[in-house]
Amino acid sequence: MPSKNRVKQYVTDSIYHCYNRGVEKRIIFLEKVDYLVFLSYLKEYLSPIDKRGIQNQLSDLNIDYKKREKLVRQLEIKNYADRVSLLAYCLMPNHFHLLLYQTDGKAIQEFMQSLMTRFTMYINKKYNRVGPLFQGVYKGVLVISDEQLVHLSYYIHAQAILNSKGQTLRVQKPSSLPNYLGQINQLWVKPERILSWFDQGSSGDMYSSYQEFMSLPTNKVALISELLLE
């Protein structure tokens, strides 16, 4: 039987909720540094590369070997900054959520394959393991309305700060929520599209801020069944 929510068709100029979990529901982030490595991959893939600036530095004959090697690697590594935008994310011990916008029909597919393959190689090497890390192909849901988009951001961010009973976690999970609350500014995260929904007063319930929106109890937010993990 086909897996529920596996992306079957990619649409140009569209947003998807993409997620995956560890094979057999196993932990995929075993240590804090594993979260940081995953985030570093997101940053590297989604931050624009100044190719001209790098090439100008490489033309300097006095540049040392280590710096030259680092610059060359920056040019060679895959980059999706002009094709994929990360609107929101949350990393949980055994799964992750990414809310992604793509400019063309193949961008997210290529990005996700690169990301998961690279992270699997990192984990396998670090923990001396073999085989797949994730439970098959990632799942994806096409976002078809602004209301779905905003509620998705709530669903993703709520997992970072609340437990299954709706109680606040003592230690929050890594997520893009601090970007939405103005606490940090990760340049490779793009919250503007969702935040503008509140700035324009078009949220229906007239929340004064995203922080107020996130303070709602989970059972009072209309979450669609397709948005949930299997």
Give per-residue pLDDT as tens, 6-33.
665 788 999 999 999 999 999 999 999 9
CA distance 7 to 17: 10
CA distance 153 to 157: 6
Domain that holds residue 126: 14-49+80-223
Burial profile 60-70: b = 16 or more Cβ within 10 angstroms, e = fewer: eeeeeeeeeee
Whole-structure pTM value: 0.86
**57 inside domain:** no
pLDDT at 115 over 90: yes
Who wins on pLDDT, 211 or 51? 211
Who wins on pLDDT, 170 or 203? 170
Nearest partner of 16 among 25, 7, 27, 24, judged by Cα? 7
**28 inside domain:** yes
**70 inside domain:** no
**166 inside domain:** yes
**90 inside domain:** yes
Mean pLDDT value across the chain: 85
Q: Which CATH number goes with the domain that contains 209?
A: 3.30.70.1290
Q: What pLDDT band is residue 2 in, cutting at 50, 70 and 90?
A: very low
Phi, psi of 106 (to 5 degrees): -115, -5
Pair of tokens at residue 216:
């709602």
**Number of domains the chain is built from:** 1
Nearest partner of 119 among 41, 225, 205, 229, judged by Cα? 41
**61 inside domain:** no
